Amino acid sequence: MSNLARSAAASDESPRFSNDFTLWLTAVVAVLAMLTLGISIGGRWIGRHITLAGNTDDTAAVMITIGRDTLNLPENVIRFPSQRRNGVAERADVYLTWPELQGYTKQHRGRFDDVSQSANLIFLQITQSTMSQDMSGRLEPIYSHLMEDAAVLYGNGLTLHNLKAEAGYGGEVLLTAPRMNQAAYAVRCILSSSAANATSGDCQRDIKAGKGLSVLYRFSSRHLQDWDHIDAAIRTFVEARLVTHSTTPR
């Protein structure tokens, strides 16, 4: 065989790509495959967190100590991610569906994600109490001196009192109701001319709980007909989650 023929034969039998090139190509394919998988997983993770928008449906317990009290709260009732950790805190911000008194779930996510449905939420701010009296206790010594005009029956056992604008309560009213064997109920509200314009937190009231907690809760004036049920439910919810309480959290 001539030298030219041997050279041609050798050329036909030699690999079309060098071993180095083959290894490089394999590595590139592997990296691309890993990137594709990462993008797929990361995309799902990012999509989920964009959808949750700071909410979580995780019900893992968080132990939060505020002053002399410690609360055992599921993560999905705590509004802000920064507060979903064990330890000492100045306050705990909580949101609950009404009337279920549940935290964020896929079933009720519309109430948390859609502003038009947020009137069916109740917002709590739990802090260490700095006042000797809650809102009911302040009714006689403070609020009674800030009322103006005649009281008006509001319905559902409530009486409406206008508060003096010059005292810093412009546009607010105080609604009160007598109760058996306990202090009178009192709640401050900014009432709209139409129930359709009511916001998710235009009524607010504070109560005491535990050894030294103040629980400020806000709810929509659309639910004023349930004022007594809301007040009892909020008190039960907080007290049931005090770690020194014998009741098992619901």
pLDDT of 197 higher than 90: no
H or E stretch at 9: helix 3-13
136 vs 9 pLDDT, higher one: 136
Structure-token match 């911000």, residue found: 93
Q: What is the pLDDT of residue 193?
A: 78
Domain residues of the chain, as ranges? 3-52, 61-240
The β-bridge partners of 61 are 74
- pLDDT confidence of residue 214: 98
pLDDT confidence of 195, banded at 50, 70, 90? Answer: confident
pLDDT-derived band at 20, boundaries 50, 70, 90: low
**Does pLDDT of 22 surpass 70?**
no
List, in order, residues 6 or more apart from 104 with CB less than 8 Å away.
Answer: 52, 55, 56, 57, 76, 77, 95, 112
Q: What does the pLDDT look like over 123-180, one tens digit per residue?
A: 999 999 999 999 999 999 999 999 999 999 999 999 999 999 999 998 899 999 999 9
**What confidence tens digit (pLDDT) does each residue in 84-100 have?**
999 999 999 999 999 99
Q: How confident is the model at residue 41 (pLDDT cuts 50, 70, 90)?
A: very low
Scanning the structure block, which residue is given the tokens 């999905």? Answer: 76
Phi, psi of 16, deg, nearest 5: -70, -25
